[in-house]
Amino acid sequence: MDRIFLGKEALAAETVTRQDLRRYCTRLLPGVYANASITPTFADRTRAAWLWSRRRGVITSLAAASLLGAQWVDDEEPVDLNFANNKAPAGVRTHRNLLLPQETAPIGEMTATVPARTALDLARSGTLRQAVARLDALARATAVTADAVLELARLHPNLRGVRRVSEALTLMDPGAESPRETWLRLMFIEAGFPRPQTQLPVLRDDGESSFFLDLGWQEVMVAAEYEGDQHRTDPEQYRDDITRLEYIQSQGWTVIRVAAQMPRTEILRRTRLAWQAARTAGRGTAADAPIE
């Protein structure tokens, strides 16, 4: 029995009985079942939506991004399908958008939008911050470029939300390793700081390899790092982080460490103080300074 399957097909193939469907399977969508012993993932729900469309739907938006390797997609997100059906079940959203031949491709058995078209749909959906975080994750997974997305956008001038696409793409950065790093980068930009560089390299003492800082400003040697739960709960990583940070600071860097629930005002205050100290030490120029 497949992990996710159409009940009619399984009955016809005699891999399950109707009693099996009732006792040992969970109905995910009309006509689509899963083994009751599993907890369906977002990938399972995506396959279920595609099967519900009788394999005719094209997977788009966040579901396509997840298939393409993007991380940080919430398992509870709805699955978007380009499929002509106005009565989608709960957990599935259907659309009737024009998809050109070059905008779709097979992924395994299923068909999904290619990275550029997926990025176009992400860029025009949700809030700007949500769009940029999702674009960051997709760009990190696929190396999709803003130019490729804008080229497609010009072919769809009447697509809903297309006017917002250019702004979202301007802020996209594949160097972000989590949505919280995206949030941190956008916060600095909105506060008037120069756009920070992501994944800043700091040469190790072996002279060949590098440590990497989440984001920061090379010219003033100020960086910010978001500390996720793994930094606190993994003892080995916690020890490595201490050694890594001590070395980076010994090279002249000031690192602003940011944790969950830390007030925005406090993060910005600490970062401005670090910039002021760098300027006093002769690093950076007036043109580099954040707007007060």
Would you state the torsion angle of the CA atoms of residues 262, 266, 268, 271, taken in this order, to the nearest 10 degrees? -100
Instruction: Clarify whether residues 23 and 53 are in a common domain.
Output: no
> What is the C-alpha radius of gyration for the chain, rounded to an integer number of angstroms?
23
pTM to 2 decimal places: 0.91
Confidence class of residue 288 from pLDDT cuts 50, 70 and 90? Answer: low
Same domain, 51 and 23: no
Measured distance CA(60)–CA(122) in Å, rounded: 9
Whether residues 82 and 30 share a domain: the answer is no
Q: Choose one of 104, 137, 171: the last residue of a domain.
A: 171
The verdict on 165 and 46 lying in the same domain is yes
- CATH code where residue 266 lies: 3.40.960
Q: Inform me whether the pLDDT recorded for 289 exceeds 80.
A: no
From 171, 193, 209, give the residue that closes a domain: 171
Whether residues 26 and 67 share a domain: the answer is no
Whether pLDDT at 1 is above 70: no
Least-confidence region, from 55-69, 111-125, 220-234: 220-234
**Together in a domain, 129 and 143:** yes
| Average pLDDT of the residues of the chain | 93
% the chain with pLDDT above 90: 86
Residues 167 and 265 in one domain: no
The answer to whether residues 31 and 148 belong to one domain is: no
Same domain as 94, residue 31: no
Indicate if 145 and 65 belong to the same structural domain: yes
CA 50 – CA 44 distance, rounded (Å): 10
Query: DSSP string covering 104-127, please?
Result: EEEETTEEEE-HHHHHHHHHTSS-
> Does residue 208 carry a pLDDT above 90?
no
One domain for residues 165 and 202:
no
Based on the structure, what is the number of domains in the chain?
3
Name 245's Cβ contacts closer than 8 Å, sequence gap at least 6.
Answer: 255
pLDDT at 140: 97
pLDDT at 120 over 60: yes
**Which DSSP category does 1 fall into?**
-
- Statement to judge: residues 114 and 213 lie in one domain: no
3-state secondary structure of 84: coil
Asked whether the predicted pLDDT for residue 292 surpasses 60, the reply is no
Domain assignment of residue 218, given as a range: 179-288
